[in-house]
Amino acid sequence: MYSVLLSVLIVLSVLLIIVVAMQPSKTNAASSLSGGAEQLFGKQKARGFESFLIRLTVVLGTIFLVLTLALEYLINH
- Residue 56 and residue 19 in contact, taking contact as beta carbons nearer than 8 Å: yes
The whole-number pLDDT of residue 52 equals 92
- Residue 12 and residue 60 in contact, taking contact as beta carbons nearer than 8 Å: yes
The domain limits of the chain are: 1-19+44-77
In whole angstroms, give the CA distance from residue 26 to residue 33: 15
The reported pTM is 0.70
E strand intervals along 11-75: none
Q: What is the dihedral of CA 62, 64, 70, 72, to 10 degrees?
A: -120
Query: Tens digit of pLDDT for each residue in 7-51?
Result: 999 999 999 999 999 988 776 655 555 555 555 555 666 678 888
